[in-house]
Structure 1
Amino acid sequence: MSFSNKLKDFFSTYQETNEKHHISDLKSHYYKTTYKNALHSIQSIIEQTTGMTITSISEERGEISVNIDHPKKAFLIVTVISVRPYETAVDFTVSTNTFLPTDFGFSKKIIQQLYKRLDEKETFVGVGKSM
């Protein structure tokens, strides 16, 4: 990872996963499960996590909106995409609510924790696979 990417990541209050992210931990994760099972697994993980409150669920669009109140205030959007039967991609977007120009890696840690818990719950296939 280049110095400019490290600097940009440090001075950020926003983190998003995608297919070709420069940080391997923040690449899209793929699971061997159906779209609905992945959505329900994520929902149960979030409901069991202290400080997280689901504000809305859109099964048609595959999105879950979450307010995070503890340890810092943040907003999380989970996107679930069915790639093919029994292969589903999951992406996260976290925006931290702070007056500072950095969240000191909080948004990245949230994503890593959620992926870790989801990896334990569903059959993990891989990261950053090109469609």
Structure 2
Amino acid sequence: MESIFSKIVAGDIPSYKVAETLEYLAFLDVNPLTEGHVLVIPKKEVDYIFDLDSETYVGLMMFAQIVAAGLKKAIPCKRIGVSVIGLEVPHAHIHLIPINSMDDMNFSRPKLSFTDEKLEAIAEKIKEQL
């Protein structure tokens, strides 16, 4: 079954893209923990990140590093937190989360909600730094 992320890659579901290559995509999480919370995925649908072939895995990490650098410039924060959980969507993905404290990475916290206009503005701000 096609994941929601594969539908985003195909353009069947809209997203707030911040970066894209032929193999990878980074877009805003629409249920973010903090402003600027980004998801980084391989376009190839593989459920578990450690099932990715080595080339795709390394490429995904390198792409995430580039996105994280731009994200840190765009969103004031102490660090960009990285999380790989993989239970919520059966498509390998990395969470890049601007953080100022450990609590900012607490996935049991209530998620933030932004208007479409705000999400578009955040995505543009990040794109400008890449």
After TM superposition, the score normalised by the length of structure 1 is 0.34
Normalized per residue, the structure richer in strand is 1
After TM superposition, the score normalised by the length of structure 2 is 0.34
Normalized per residue, the structure richer in helix is 2
